[in-house]
Structure formats: structure tokens, C-alpha cells
Structure 1
């Protein structure tokens, strides 16, 4: 159950709880729930213009992992980086 601090940031509690039950992290569930509650965002639509991670170079994947703070990225293969980015 989210704390009072978390609840203040969560805009769509039902979506948040469903994502948590499905195994999403608190951070990821809150991001998606809040995006869904925002009329200007459409998280159920396909993403933006970026290419799929499989088409990125390992160096580009590494840089993205560094931006979001994925631990152990220097020892990860391209496949591992893709998995870590998708599960973040």
C-alpha cells in the first residue's frame, strides 16, 4: 500500500494498484498511473519516435542506462542493457 507521500503523487490509484499487482515497481506504476490520469498524455498509445532498443548501439544503451541510474551497467551486454532499461 502506498504511503501518504506516495498517494499525493499518484493520480490514478486503480491503475497504480493494478500495475503493482502485475509486478511493476512503485516508480514505474506511479509514472504510468499519473500519465494515464493526464489528459494530454496517452500512455496506452505506441511510444514516440525513438527506434526500438534492439536498433540502438550498446554505447547508446549504456548512456541511457547511466542517465536513469541503472546499477551494474558497465558489465552488461547489449541484451542485458535492453532488459534493464525495459524493466526500469
Structure 2
């Protein structure tokens, strides 16, 4: 095995592209391996699209903040809640 190669990585180019986009290593590996096994278009069709955070209600945003483990969100305004996810 050559240095830097992972034999379990089935689509290293896709993995690296996802990592460059900021996706975690674990998630990038899962997506790239699934794409290699089932085809990129099949993986691309899976799941849905979430509405933009600007379209969420404040209670929805606060519930999401709680789910992802943020603190200090209870008195934040909508724009502050959204900003806190992008800049934890």
C-alpha cells in the first residue's frame, strides 16, 4: 500500500472535495463510499432540502440550538441564533 492511501476509501476524489467544502471526515467518507457503491446520482437523490434558516421560526431555531448543544441562546434574536451556528 502506498503512503497516504486508505484501502477502504472507495472514491478519494469525492472525499477530498467534500473535505475541502468543510464536511467532516467521517461524513465525507460515508458519502463518498456510498457514491462509489451506488452511483453518485443515487446518493444525490437521497434526502431532502431543508428550508433556509431565515425561513425558520424563532422557536424552531431555539430547538435546533438545543439539539446541537449551543448555550446562551435563550435570549438571542433570530439573526443572532442563525449567526451562532455559522460562528460557534
How high is the TM-score relative to the length of structure 2?
0.49
Q: Which has the higher contact order (CA 8 A, sep 6+)?
A: 1
Determine which structure has more spread, i.e. the larger CA radius of gyration: 2
How high is the TM-score relative to the length of structure 1?
0.49
